[in-house]
Protein backbone atom coordinates (compact mmCIF):
# COMPACT_ATOMS: atom_id res chain seq x y z
CA UNK A 1 0.00 0.00 0.00
CA UNK A 2 1.04 3.59 -0.25
CA UNK A 3 0.04 6.88 1.28
CA UNK A 4 1.40 9.91 -0.59
CA UNK A 5 4.14 7.65 -1.94
CA UNK A 6 5.27 6.45 1.51
CA UNK A 7 5.11 2.74 0.74
CA UNK A 8 4.37 -0.25 2.93
CA UNK A 9 4.19 -3.99 2.97
CA UNK A 10 1.13 -4.72 5.11
CA UNK A 11 1.19 -8.12 6.82
CA UNK A 12 -2.07 -9.77 7.78
CA UNK A 13 -1.49 -11.30 11.20
CA UNK A 14 -5.16 -11.69 12.13
CA UNK A 15 -5.27 -15.47 11.99
CA UNK A 16 -1.59 -16.39 12.07
CA UNK A 17 1.34 -14.22 13.09
CA UNK A 18 4.14 -14.04 10.52
CA UNK A 19 7.72 -13.90 11.80
CA UNK A 20 8.76 -10.29 12.40
CA UNK A 21 12.40 -10.80 13.26
CA UNK A 22 14.94 -8.40 11.81
CA UNK A 23 16.18 -10.76 9.08
CA UNK A 24 12.68 -11.43 7.75
CA UNK A 25 11.70 -7.74 7.72
CA UNK A 26 14.89 -6.79 5.91
CA UNK A 27 14.39 -9.49 3.29
CA UNK A 28 10.79 -8.48 2.69
CA UNK A 29 11.62 -4.76 2.59
CA UNK A 30 14.57 -5.11 0.23
CA UNK A 31 13.71 -3.39 -3.08
CA UNK A 32 15.94 -5.72 -5.10
CA UNK A 33 15.69 -9.11 -3.41
CA UNK A 34 12.29 -8.77 -1.72
CA UNK A 35 9.14 -6.72 -2.22
CA UNK A 36 10.54 -3.36 -1.15
CA UNK A 37 9.03 -0.69 1.09
CA UNK A 38 9.79 2.15 3.48
CA UNK A 39 8.06 0.38 6.40
CA UNK A 40 6.54 -3.04 7.12
CA UNK A 41 3.21 -2.92 8.97
CA UNK A 42 1.60 -5.74 10.90
CA UNK A 43 -2.11 -5.97 11.69
CA UNK A 44 -2.83 -8.31 14.59
CA UNK A 45 -5.64 -8.95 17.09
CA UNK A 46 -5.73 -7.08 20.39
CA UNK A 47 -5.69 -8.79 23.78
CA UNK A 48 -9.10 -10.11 24.78
CA UNK A 49 -9.47 -7.54 27.59
CA UNK A 50 -8.57 -4.52 25.42
CA UNK A 51 -11.65 -2.28 25.35
CA UNK A 52 -9.91 0.70 23.80
CA UNK A 53 -8.56 -0.66 20.55
CA UNK A 54 -9.81 -2.84 17.69
CA UNK A 55 -6.42 -4.02 16.42
CA UNK A 56 -2.79 -4.15 17.30
CA UNK A 57 -0.63 -2.15 14.83
CA UNK A 58 3.12 -2.82 14.76
CA UNK A 59 5.61 -0.93 12.60
CA UNK A 60 9.10 -1.78 11.37
CA UNK A 61 11.53 0.38 9.41
CA UNK A 62 12.97 -1.33 6.31
CA UNK A 63 16.16 -1.75 8.35
CA UNK A 64 14.30 -4.28 10.53
CA UNK A 65 13.99 -2.11 13.64
CA UNK A 66 10.58 -1.91 15.33
CA UNK A 67 9.42 1.69 15.79
CA UNK A 68 6.71 3.40 17.79
CA UNK A 69 4.59 5.23 15.28
CA UNK A 70 3.85 5.83 11.60
CA UNK A 71 1.11 8.19 10.41
CA UNK A 72 0.78 7.23 6.74
CA UNK A 73 0.98 3.59 7.77
CA UNK A 74 -1.90 4.06 10.25
CA UNK A 75 -4.11 5.31 7.44
CA UNK A 76 -3.09 2.36 5.24
CA UNK A 77 -3.47 -0.38 7.84
CA UNK A 78 -6.90 0.91 8.89
CA UNK A 79 -8.04 0.85 5.27
CA UNK A 80 -6.61 -2.67 4.95
CA UNK A 81 -8.63 -3.76 8.00
CA UNK A 82 -11.78 -2.35 6.40
CA UNK A 83 -11.11 -3.85 2.94
CA UNK A 84 -10.48 -7.28 4.49
CA UNK A 85 -13.71 -7.10 6.47
CA UNK A 86 -11.94 -7.24 9.85
CA UNK A 87 -13.19 -3.75 10.70
CA UNK A 88 -16.71 -2.60 10.12
CA UNK A 89 -15.54 0.96 9.77
CA UNK A 90 -15.55 3.85 9.35
CA UNK A 91 -13.75 4.21 12.71
CA UNK A 92 -10.73 1.97 13.38
CA UNK A 93 -8.81 2.15 16.66
CA UNK A 94 -5.23 0.94 16.58
CA UNK A 95 -3.07 -0.02 19.55
CA UNK A 96 0.54 1.04 18.99
CA UNK A 97 3.51 0.72 21.35
CA UNK A 98 2.56 3.79 23.38
CA UNK A 99 -1.20 4.11 23.24
CA UNK A 100 -4.15 4.08 20.87
CA UNK A 101 -4.78 6.15 17.75
CA UNK A 102 -8.00 6.41 15.75
CA UNK A 103 -8.45 6.42 12.00
CA UNK A 104 -11.61 7.34 10.11
CA UNK A 105 -12.44 6.37 6.53
CA UNK A 106 -14.13 8.85 4.26
CA UNK A 107 -17.05 7.24 2.46
CA UNK A 108 -16.43 5.80 -1.01
CA UNK A 109 -12.87 6.98 -1.34
CA UNK A 110 -9.30 6.00 -0.55
CA UNK A 111 -9.03 8.96 1.76
CA UNK A 112 -8.37 8.25 5.43
CA UNK A 113 -7.86 10.58 8.38
CA UNK A 114 -5.85 9.63 11.45
CA UNK A 115 -5.82 11.49 14.75
CA UNK A 116 -2.21 11.29 15.91
CA UNK A 117 -3.12 12.45 19.42
CA UNK A 118 -0.96 14.72 21.53
CA UNK A 119 2.36 16.13 20.38
CA UNK A 120 5.06 16.29 23.07
CA UNK A 121 7.72 18.96 23.26
CA UNK A 122 9.64 18.19 26.48
CA UNK A 123 13.27 17.09 25.98
CA UNK A 124 12.78 13.88 27.86
CA UNK A 125 9.80 12.95 25.72
CA UNK A 126 11.59 13.38 22.37
CA UNK A 127 14.15 12.18 23.68
CA UNK A 128 16.54 15.06 23.04
CA UNK A 129 19.54 16.42 24.94
CA UNK A 130 19.93 20.20 24.39
CA UNK A 131 23.23 20.32 26.33
CA UNK A 132 25.70 22.68 24.65
CA UNK A 133 23.32 23.97 21.95
CA UNK A 134 22.34 27.62 21.48
CA UNK A 135 18.65 28.36 21.57
CA UNK A 136 16.15 30.98 20.48
CA UNK A 137 12.41 31.32 20.90
CA UNK A 138 10.19 31.79 17.85
CA UNK A 139 6.59 32.38 18.96
CA UNK A 140 5.62 29.50 21.23
CA UNK A 141 8.40 27.22 20.05
CA UNK A 142 12.02 26.82 21.10
CA UNK A 143 14.61 26.35 18.37
CA UNK A 144 18.05 24.83 18.92
CA UNK A 145 21.08 25.77 16.85
CA UNK A 146 23.61 23.17 15.74
CA UNK A 147 26.79 24.71 14.40
CA UNK A 148 27.68 23.72 10.84
CA UNK A 149 31.38 24.27 10.50
CA UNK A 150 31.27 23.54 6.74
CA UNK A 151 29.20 26.66 6.02
CA UNK A 152 29.89 28.64 9.20
CA UNK A 153 26.29 28.98 10.36
CA UNK A 154 23.73 27.46 12.68
CA UNK A 155 21.17 24.92 11.57
CA UNK A 156 18.04 25.74 13.62
CA UNK A 157 15.76 22.93 14.58
CA UNK A 158 12.55 22.39 16.52
CA UNK A 159 11.96 19.09 18.30
CA UNK A 160 8.59 17.35 18.48
CA UNK A 161 7.51 13.85 19.48
CA UNK A 162 4.41 12.38 17.84
CA UNK A 163 4.89 8.92 19.21
CA UNK A 164 8.25 8.95 17.40
CA UNK A 165 10.99 11.61 17.45
CA UNK A 166 11.22 14.47 14.95
CA UNK A 167 13.50 17.42 14.25
CA UNK A 168 11.91 20.10 12.07
CA UNK A 169 13.88 22.68 10.12
CA UNK A 170 12.18 25.63 8.44
CA UNK A 171 14.14 26.59 5.35
CA UNK A 172 14.44 29.85 3.46
CA UNK A 173 13.92 29.33 -0.25
CA UNK A 174 12.99 26.11 -1.99
CA UNK A 175 13.06 22.76 -0.20
CA UNK A 176 14.29 21.35 -3.55
CA UNK A 177 17.61 23.08 -2.98
CA UNK A 178 18.19 21.55 0.47
CA UNK A 179 20.89 18.82 0.54
CA UNK A 180 18.53 16.52 2.45
CA UNK A 181 20.80 13.49 1.99
CA UNK A 182 23.60 15.30 3.84
CA UNK A 183 21.73 17.36 6.44
CA UNK A 184 19.46 14.48 7.46
CA UNK A 185 22.34 12.24 8.57
CA UNK A 186 24.16 15.29 10.00
CA UNK A 187 21.26 15.93 12.42
CA UNK A 188 20.78 12.22 13.12
CA UNK A 189 24.46 11.87 14.06
CA UNK A 190 24.77 15.11 16.06
CA UNK A 191 24.74 13.16 19.32
CA UNK A 192 21.71 14.90 20.85
CA UNK A 193 19.07 12.28 19.96
CA UNK A 194 19.62 9.13 21.97
CA UNK A 195 16.98 7.12 20.10
CA UNK A 196 17.63 8.63 16.68
CA UNK A 197 15.40 11.13 14.90
CA UNK A 198 13.42 11.76 11.72
CA UNK A 199 14.50 15.04 10.12
CA UNK A 200 11.98 17.23 8.27
CA UNK A 201 12.65 20.25 6.04
CA UNK A 202 9.78 22.66 5.54
CA UNK A 203 9.21 25.48 3.08
CA UNK A 204 6.27 27.63 4.16
CA UNK A 205 4.31 28.96 1.18
CA UNK A 206 1.62 30.67 3.25
CA UNK A 207 -0.51 29.89 6.34
CA UNK A 208 -2.42 27.19 4.54
CA UNK A 209 0.26 25.62 2.33
CA UNK A 210 3.78 24.27 2.76
CA UNK A 211 6.23 21.98 1.02
CA UNK A 212 8.06 19.25 2.94
CA UNK A 213 10.79 16.65 2.61
CA UNK A 214 11.69 14.19 5.38
CA UNK A 215 14.85 12.17 5.93
CA UNK A 216 13.54 9.36 8.10
CA UNK A 217 15.28 7.44 10.84
CA UNK A 218 16.13 4.03 9.36
CA UNK A 219 14.47 4.42 5.98
CA UNK A 220 16.27 7.53 4.67
CA UNK A 221 14.41 10.09 2.54
CA UNK A 222 10.89 8.91 1.76
CA UNK A 223 8.36 10.47 -0.63
CA UNK A 224 6.23 11.46 2.38
CA UNK A 225 6.23 11.03 6.15
CA UNK A 226 2.95 11.39 8.03
CA UNK A 227 4.23 11.91 11.56
CA UNK A 228 6.98 14.18 10.15
CA UNK A 229 4.31 16.28 8.46
CA UNK A 230 2.31 16.53 11.70
CA UNK A 231 5.48 17.47 13.59
CA UNK A 232 6.19 20.23 11.04
CA UNK A 233 2.62 21.43 11.31
CA UNK A 234 2.68 21.56 15.13
CA UNK A 235 6.06 23.34 15.19
CA UNK A 236 4.87 25.85 12.57
CA UNK A 237 1.54 26.32 14.24
CA UNK A 238 3.17 27.16 17.58
CA UNK A 239 5.41 29.65 15.79
CA UNK A 240 2.32 31.31 14.29
CA UNK A 241 3.15 30.25 10.73
CA UNK A 242 0.16 27.98 10.05
CA UNK A 243 -3.63 28.04 10.18
CA UNK A 244 -6.06 25.55 11.71
CA UNK A 245 -5.78 23.63 8.45
CA UNK A 246 -2.66 23.44 6.30
CA UNK A 247 -1.88 21.40 3.18
CA UNK A 248 1.58 19.90 2.86
CA UNK A 249 3.02 19.01 -0.52
CA UNK A 250 5.39 16.11 -0.15
CA UNK A 251 7.22 14.64 -3.13
CA UNK A 252 4.76 11.74 -3.32
CA UNK A 253 1.51 13.61 -2.78
CA UNK A 254 -0.53 15.95 -0.64
CA UNK A 255 -1.30 15.56 3.06
CA UNK A 256 -3.64 17.73 5.08
CA UNK A 257 -3.06 18.59 8.74
CA UNK A 258 -5.70 20.03 11.03
CA UNK A 259 -5.75 20.99 14.66
CA UNK A 260 -7.95 23.12 16.86
CA UNK A 261 -6.24 22.42 20.18
CA UNK A 262 -2.69 22.24 18.74
CA UNK A 263 -1.09 20.21 21.48
CA UNK A 264 -3.84 17.73 22.25
CA UNK A 265 -4.75 16.45 18.83
CA UNK A 266 -3.57 16.73 15.25
CA UNK A 267 -5.18 14.97 12.31
CA UNK A 268 -3.56 13.85 9.09
CA UNK A 269 -5.59 13.18 5.94
CA UNK A 270 -4.60 11.71 2.61
CA UNK A 271 -4.84 8.69 0.36
CA UNK A 272 -4.32 5.11 1.52
CA UNK A 273 -4.07 3.03 -1.63
CA UNK A 274 -3.62 -0.66 -2.36
CA UNK A 275 -0.86 -1.31 -4.90
CA UNK A 276 -1.06 -5.10 -5.12
CA UNK A 277 -1.75 -8.16 -3.00
CA UNK A 278 0.37 -11.27 -2.88
CA UNK A 279 2.08 -14.01 -0.90
CA UNK A 280 5.73 -13.98 0.15
CA UNK A 281 7.64 -17.10 1.25
CA UNK A 282 8.34 -17.06 4.97
CA UNK A 283 11.35 -19.32 4.78
CA UNK A 284 14.36 -18.48 2.66
CA UNK A 285 14.73 -21.93 1.17
Ligand X SMILES: N[C@H](CCC[C@H](N)C(=O)O)C(=O)O
Let me know if 225 is a catalytic residue: yes
Among 219, 259, 271, 273, contact with ligand X (rule: CB under 6 A): 219
Query: Is position 71 an interface residue for ligand X (rule: CB under 6 A)?
Result: yes
Alpha carbon distance 141, 166 (integer Å): 14
Q: In angstroms, what CA-CA distances link 257 with 92, 110, 119, 189, 202?
A: 19, 17, 13, 29, 14
Active site residue 70: yes
Sign of the C-alpha dihedral computed for residues 41, 164, 95 and 93 taken in this order: negative
Distance CA 112, CA 49 (A): 27
**Residue 113 known to bind ligand:** no
113 binds ligand X (CB under 6 A): no
Catalytic, out of 37, 225, 230, 257: 225
Q: Which of 126, 225, 250, 272 binds ligand X (CB under 6 A)?
A: 225
Give φ, ψ of 137 to 5 degrees.
Answer: -100, 130
Would you report the helix, strand and coil content of the chain in percent, each value rounded to 5?
15, 40, 45
Of 33-52, binders to ligand X (CB under 6 A) are: 38-39
Pick from 198, 246, 267, 271 the residue near ligand X by CB under 6 A: 198
Task: Give the 3-state secondary structure of residue 227.
Answer: helix
**Residue 71 assigned as binding residue:** yes
In contact, 255 and 226? CB cutoff 8 Å: yes
Residue 217 binds ligand X (CB under 6 A)? yes
Binding-site size, ligand X (CB under 6 A): 19
User: Binder to ligand X among 117, 141, 216, 253 (CB under 6 A)?
Assistant: 216
Closest CB to ligand X among 120 and 138?
Answer: 120
Q: Is residue 226 a contact residue for ligand X (CB under 6 A)?
A: yes
217 annotated binding-site participant: yes
Distances (CA, A) of 200 to 81, 171, 208, 211: 29, 10, 18, 10
Residues of this chain that bind ligand X (CB under 6 A): 6, 38-39, 61, 67, 70-73, 164, 198, 216-219, 222, 225-227
Active site residues: 70, 225
Which positions make up the binding site for substrate?
6, 39, 61, 71-72, 164, 198, 216-217, 226-227
Amino acid sequence: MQGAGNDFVVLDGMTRLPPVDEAFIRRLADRKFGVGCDQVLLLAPVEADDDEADFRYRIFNNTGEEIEQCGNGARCIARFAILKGYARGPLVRLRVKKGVISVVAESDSERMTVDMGAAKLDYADIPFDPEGLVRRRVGGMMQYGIWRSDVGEYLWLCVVNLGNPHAVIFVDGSVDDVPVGELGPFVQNCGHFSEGVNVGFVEVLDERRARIRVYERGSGETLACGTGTCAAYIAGRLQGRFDEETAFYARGGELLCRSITTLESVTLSGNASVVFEGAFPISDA
